[in-house]
Amino acid sequence: MSNTLNEPFQGALRLRGNLYGGMKYFRTNVETGASHNADGDRVCALTDDFLLGFRDALMYEVGQSYGQVMKQCGRTWGKQFANKFLQKLQKEYNELPAELGIRTIVTCLSDAFTAHGWGRLSIQRIDEDAATLVIVLQNSILPDLVIESDQHEDFIWTGFFAAFWGVVLGKTLDAVQIECVTRNGRFSRFVVAPKEDLEKQVAFVQSETFENGQEVG
């Protein structure tokens, strides 16, 4: 099943509101000084200076391996997040995630990104059978802070999306970022696919974007 922006996701969209919305999703205990989300996970806010400092320090320590290190961190995080995310959906809907349909999963994931301040997430194309996706993330944190760079800056999201969608679709996936605001892009864009198909999928997306002069879909 393949869907694009101009061809809405098939299947019913059955939402029970925004699972990540409301004033009570994030809670701070003033006595302990700790903040948690509604699922009991501890959360904290990181300043722009901290994020830029962390990036620069890691680049200094590992050099050219920076991207690989961040991508692997993203993979670990993406797998953990996917398992918790799917458990949350199953608990809230009392159904297996596979029975909810991809539309519901995508919408809830987008809500999670917005609530946590990670950016505005959308899926431009998804082919469940081939396990390939084109993902757009607007207002991604590091690119917005770095502004100009000689490389794409969303290494952690590249690993995250590969692992997250690998869990959801039950496949071993890889991902690559093909657009970033640090390299004059409009937003962050990623292609996710099985490793053996990734290069072909990237070439297809880039050629279609160039030929059509518009977003994929």
Mean pLDDT for each 10-residue chunk of the chain (217 residues)?
44 70 84 90 92 94 94 97 94 87 91 93 92 95 85 94 96 96 92 96 82 40
E strand or H helix at 169: helix 155-169
DSSP state of 47: -
Give the pLDDT of residue 97.
Answer: 84
Give the pLDDT of residue 13.
Answer: 60
Give the pLDDT of residue 150.
Answer: 80
In degrees to the nearest 10, what's the CA dihedral of 79, 51, 175, 199?
-160
Give the pLDDT of residue 215.
Answer: 42
30 CB contacts (<8 Å, ≥6 apart)?
none
Tokens of 138: 């607007």
Closest CA to 142 of 65, 41, 74: 74
20-24, Cβ contacts within 8 angstroms, sequence gap of 24 or more: 20/108, 20/111, 20/112, 20/114, 20/115, 20/116, 21/111, 21/115
Give the pLDDT of residue 22.
Answer: 74
Give the pLDDT of residue 12.
Answer: 53
Q: Distance of CA 138 to CAs 18, 160, 190, 202, 213, Å?
A: 20, 16, 11, 19, 19
Tokens 């994929």 -> residue: 216
| pTM metric for this prediction | 0.88
Q: At what angle do helices 66-93 and 48-62 cross, to 10 degrees?
A: 130
Give the pLDDT of residue 7.
Answer: 43
Strands of 2-97 (E only): list them.
2-4, 26-29, 34-37, 42-43
Give the pLDDT of residue 75.
Answer: 97
Give the pLDDT of residue 191.
Answer: 97
Give the pLDDT of residue 148.
Answer: 74
